[in-house]
Amino acid sequence: MPVHEGAKTSGKIETRLFINNEFVESISGKTFDVFNPYSEEKVASVYEALPEDVDKAVDAAEAALPAWEEMGAIARAEYYYKLADLLEAAGPELAELESKETGQLASRYRENAVGAKGLRMFAGLASDLNGATSLAMPGHVNMVIRQPYGVCGAIVPWNVPILAAIFKMGPALIGGNTLVLKSSEKSPLTALVLARLVKEAGFPPGVFNVLSGYGNPAGAAMASHMKIRKIGFTGSARTGRLIKEAAAKSNLKRVSLELGGKSPLIIFDDANLEAAIPAAAISIIALTGQVCIASSRLYVHSSIADVFQEKLIQAIKKMSANSPEGVDPSSPEAMHQPQVDKAQFENVLKYIELAKESGGEIVLGGKRQTEKGYFIEPTIIRNPDHDSRVSKEEIFGPVLCFNTFEDEDEVMKRANDSEYGLFASLYTKDISRAMRIAKRFESGMVGVNTTSPMTTAPDMPFSGWKASGDGVDLSKASLDLWTQMKTIYIKI
């Protein structure tokens, strides 16, 4: 994990839209403000895309499409290698900027490094952009080829803005599509740095466009746009439903969704606690719980639950110490980050209030951490009711539901009783049990003797079951999702 001590920005912060390889003001000239969640001060006024700007970006993407598609994937991959190098070099700038707009700890910033690895993996997939042939029909050689959808859209969240963008642009552009990406209104600044790097890497104009703006109107205009043929979305299940609805009511564009989670982590009585305790702590502390795969529901075997709880509390306290005034997340000594904004801060505090009614006991934290900034104490709720809102809903904060269990069938029933199915993990030394549980989990990704967030590999599918989505990020599977099949019959 690279550490960017004394991170620096390269000067002026870019606030314009990125269309056709140019930074431009929005047509209306309208702007919105981005605030620092540590200081609560304004960081920048950013140009806001309205539907007319969406049209302009879509037109640029449409004009760029034929040449980009015709170029071929191997040539397109060359741009990815250049962009990956530029992204790695931009680490300090991105770390500082993201820290200002979302409160992410600059010292633990690694989105640029993971993103660069992802880009190189997608470049490698250029040689996998192929279909199939068949001789099964007498007198024929038949084939399936894979082609781009055309102009596509990506709508991404704020918690990992660079990674979310690369997870969409990676397969979309190598597959020959062109893209209009809308960043989150909470984190538009780092996406504009990515746009600048795309231009520096030499991508042709119009291939990749970035719009800053709100879900409504800009995101909604994309979801119902008649020229956009596919949208890749990462965000909440609530917004995912709206986008599918808008797609159904417009041109039936393809929509792939990567949504939220409420991930279970099961600790069996034979688990290696030296490994499991710090891993459980990091999983709920990283990005202060604002991670889709955070292990937010812990199930510990009752025979070790009290010892586990005590050591977990020690580990979390050590990892998230903060002074009463808070520490600027962009400074190297910062240990704990604030929630991204006032709305998110109030939402998490509301859940902590609900915890008090859930029948559970708050054994750690339970209130705001500092007087200034949106810091919340890491919070553990012991034994909340299984059907309570804190146990069922995604809180997206440093709030852990700590449950105990007696036997495997009982814990699996509770672990799987969730609308979500993104990630799940377990710790045990028994290999048969590990594989049995991995198979029984109703989730798209499983960790065995490891847990999130240390579980993402570029060549492995990142995807959810149930209400956690129907898409795939990363891996060859994501490339298949950004191209469409065509069957050709050839009579010989």
Catalytic residue numbers read 258
Query: Are the C-beta atoms of 405 and 300 separated by less than 8 Å?
Result: yes
Query: Are the C-beta atoms of 159 and 102 separated by less than 8 Å?
Result: yes
Q: Give min distance, CB of 202 to ligand NAD, in A.
A: 27
Is position 234 an interface residue for ligand NAD (rule: CB under 6 A)?
yes
**Residue of 102, 177, 184, 452 interacting with ligand NAD (CB under 6 A):** 184
How far is CA 340 from each of CA 48, 159, 174, rounded to the nearest angstrom?
A: 20, 8, 32
Q: Annotate each residue in 374-403 with x if it binds ligand NAD (CB under 6 A) or - if it does not, as one string.
A: --------------------x-x-------
**Residue of 94, 259, 362, 376 interacting with ligand NAD (CB under 6 A):** 259
**Residue of 198, 277, 292, 401 interacting with ligand NAD (CB under 6 A):** 292
Q: Give min distance, CB of 36 to ligand NAD, in A.
A: 18
Tell me which residue has tokens 């690369």: 166
Nearest to 235 by CA among 295, 178, 288, 184: 184
User: Toward ligand NAD, which CB reaches closer, 134 or 250?
Assistant: 250
User: Toward ligand NAD, which CB reaches closer, 277 or 400?
Assistant: 400
Is position 235 an interface residue for ligand NAD (rule: CB under 6 A)?
yes
Is position 214 an interface residue for ligand NAD (rule: CB under 6 A)?
yes
Q: Give min distance, CB of 304 to ligand NAD, in A.
A: 30
User: What spatial distance separates the first Cα and last Cα of the chain, rounded to whole Å?
Assistant: 57
Q: Give min distance, CB of 246 to ligand NAD, in A.
A: 7
User: Toward ligand NAD, which CB reaches closer, 90 or 293?
Assistant: 293
Q: Which stretch binds ligand NAD (CB under 6 A): 13-21, 137-145, 211-219, 445-453?
A: 211-219
Which residue of the chain is nearest ligand NAD when measured via CB?
215
Query: Footprint of ligand NAD on this chain (CB under 6 A)?
Result: 155-160, 182, 184-185, 214-216, 219-220, 223, 234-236, 239, 242-243, 258-261, 292, 394, 396, 422, 464, 469, 473
